[in-house]
Amino acid sequence: MERYKVYKEKLLEVLPKYIDFASDRVFDCSDIGPELEDHVRFLIEFTVTGGKFIRACILIDTYLQLSKTEEIPEDVLFCAWSVEVLQAAYLTADDIIDVATLRRGKLPFYKTPMATKTELTKMGKSADIKQPDVGLTAFIDAWILETASYETITFVEKKLLKQIRFLDKKSAFPDEIFDYFFDYPLLDVLMYCGRMTELGECLDCRHEALSRAMGSCVSASFSQVKKIHIHKTSFYTFYLPYALGVVLYLYHHPEDVDHVLKEVPGAIKVRPGVAAETKDIATGIDVACVCLGRLFQMQDDFFDLFCPPEKLGKVGTDIQEGKASWLLCYALDSPLLTESMRKVLADNIGNSDADCRAVRNVYEAVEVEKGYKTELKKISDKISTALKPVDERFSEPLLILLRYIVGRDY
C-alpha cells in the first residue's frame, strides 16, 4: 500500500535517532551503559528491521486520519517504533521457543554471535575470533526490548502531559478532560495489550506442550483457536497501535476528547475482551480490532504451510510444533475427513519428524483452501458491517487496513 510505504520511509529516516533515544531510556540512572550500549543498540536495530511495520503504520495512519494532516510529529514516530520494539521482544522469545532457523529472511537473534564487531574492536579482539551465539540469553534481550518499549512510551507521555498541565493551569478545558490524560492513557493501553498478548502466548505454548505430551495434538477446537488468536494477535497487532494513534491525537488535540469518548470508548476506557464480538456494549472499533486479529492469524496459519519459505521469510513449523492452527481445526471439523486422513494428522501433528507433505495432502483433500477463502470473506464482511455506524474519521484507518490485509499473500 502506497501510504504505508511513505510511513515506512519516515520510520527508517528517524530510526537512528530513535535508537539513541531508546538506548538513553534503557540506561537512564545506570552506570552499566558503557558495557552494554553497543549490544543494546545492535539488538534494537537487528530485531526491528526487515519486517512490514504493519503495527507502526496503523498507529501513524490513525493519527494522520484523525488530524487531517500529512505532518507526522516525532513523538508519534517514536511511539510507532515502540510498538515495533514490543513486537521484536515477542518475536525474539518466540524464535527460541520455536527453535526457529529464519526470521524475516535472516538468522533469528538468538543465533547471532554474542558480541558485535564494534564490541570486539573495543575489546582489542579480532572480528574473526570464534565466539558463542547469543543463545538462551536472548530471553534477557527480549526483556530489554520490552523495557525499551515501555520506557520510551512513558517518557513521551510525561513530555506530552507537561503540555496538558500547562493548559490545565490556564483552565482551558473542563476537569474531566484533564482527568483522562492524568490516567496515563498511552502507558495504560500499552500495559493492557502487553498483558493480554502474553496471556495469549502462554495459552498457545501450554496447549502445544500439553497436547504433545498427552498425544492429543489433533484435538484442537475452533473455540480454543479463536481465544488464542484474539489474545496473541488482536490486542497488540491491531487494538494497540489504533488506540495509541487515537490517544496521541488527543494529546495534540485535547479539545476533541469529549467527542472521542463517545465515538471510540474502546480506545479510551472500555477494554475489548474475547466476547467483544457478542456483547451489546462493544463498539464497532472493538469488534473490528478483534476480528482483524482473527483474520490476520488465520492467514498466518495458512501461509505457514502454503507459502514458500523464501517468500515468507521463515520456515513454517506449525505442524512439527503441534500448533492449534485454524487449518487443523477446519480439517478435523470437515465431513470430508476420513479415518485414514485423521490417522495421518495424528501421526504427524506435533511430530518433529513430521511428513508435512502428507499433512498438506490431507488439507487439500478436505478443501481447506476453499474454506479459508470463505472464512476470510465472512470475517471481512463482519468488520465492514461493524464499522458502518462509526464516524468515518475513526473507521477509515481500519477499513484501509482491512483492504491491505485481505490483499496480502505472505
Question: Which residues span the domain enclosing 179?
Answer: 2-406
Question: What is the model's pLDDT at position 278?
Answer: 38
Judged against a pLDDT cut of 60, whether residue 76 lies above it is answered with yes
Q: Residue 90 corresponds to which amino acid?
A: Y
- What is the C-alpha separation between 218 and 349, in angstroms, rounded? 7
Nearest one of 233, 231, 216 to 328, comparing CA atoms? 216
Residue 401 belongs to a domain with what CATH number? 1.10.600.10
Across the range 207-211, mean pLDDT stands at 84
Question: What is the model's pLDDT at position 313?
Answer: 86
Say how many domains are in the chain: 1
The set of long-range contacts for 279-284, using a CB threshold of 8 Å and a minimum separation of 24, is 283/390, 284/386, 284/387, 284/388, 284/389, 284/390, 284/395
Across the range 321-343, mean pLDDT stands at 94
Question: What is the model's pLDDT at position 273?
Answer: 46
Q: Are 30 and 161 in contact (CB under 8 A)?
A: no
Q: Are 305 and 363 in contact (CB under 8 A)?
A: yes
99: left (phi over 0), alpha (psi -120 to 50) or beta: left
Of the ranges 27-41, 46-60, 160-174, 275-289, which is most confident? 46-60
pLDDT single digits (tens) 363-380: 999 999 999 999 999 999
Across the range 100-114, mean pLDDT stands at 91
Burial 362-395 (b: 16+ CB within 10 A, else e): bbeebebeebbeebbeebbebbbebbeebeebbb
- What is the C-alpha separation between 137 and 134, in angstroms, rounded? 6
DSSP type of residue 113: B
- What is the C-alpha separation between 57 and 263, in angstroms, rounded? 22
pLDDT single digits (tens) 109-123: 999 998 877 788 777
408: three-class secondary structure by DSSP: coil
Enter the C-alpha cell of residue 55: 503495527
Question: What is the model's pLDDT at position 336?
Answer: 97
Question: What is the model's pLDDT at position 177?
Answer: 63
Judged against a pLDDT cut of 80, whether residue 217 lies above it is answered with no
- Residue whose C-alpha cell is 481465544: 227
* Adjacent-strand bridge partners of 133: 113
Q: What is the pTM of this model?
A: 0.90
Percent of the chain with pLDDT over 70: 91
